[in-house]
Amino acid sequence: MQQDGRQFWPNDGDGYFSISTGNDVVLGILRQFTGESTTISLYDDEDFGDDDFLGSATISRREGDQLERRQDIMANGAHYVLTYKVRDNGVFD
């Protein structure tokens, strides 16, 4: 996974992680952003080549109501669901 072009999972650039049909993976990772939005992108391989991009979800700071939200990411016959919450931690004006 990348946030705005920088890999943050798995392990900030190290290692592999395999996800197969029916698996749920709870990351429990807090990510900060200070602009109007941030983009979370999924890749099929740790060597981010053009053929490994699976799709992305753009998350707006206006979603800062702490409600659980979901975005579908679909590519190459695969379907991923990104579940997240946005919390205003006082950085936004």
Residue 20 lies in a domain: no
- The reply to whether 23 falls in a domain is no
pTM: 0.81
Among residues 26, 33, 34, which one has the least CA distance to residue 2?
A: 33
Give 63-92 pLDDT, tens digit per residue.
888 889 999 998 777 889 999 999 887 665
CA neighbours closer than 13 Å in the CB half-sphere of residue 81 = 10
Burial degree of 40 (CB within 10 A; 0-12, 13-18, 19+): buried
Structural domain total, the chain: 1
Whether residue 25 lies inside any domain: the answer is: no
Instruction: Report yes or no on 2 lying in a domain.
Output: yes
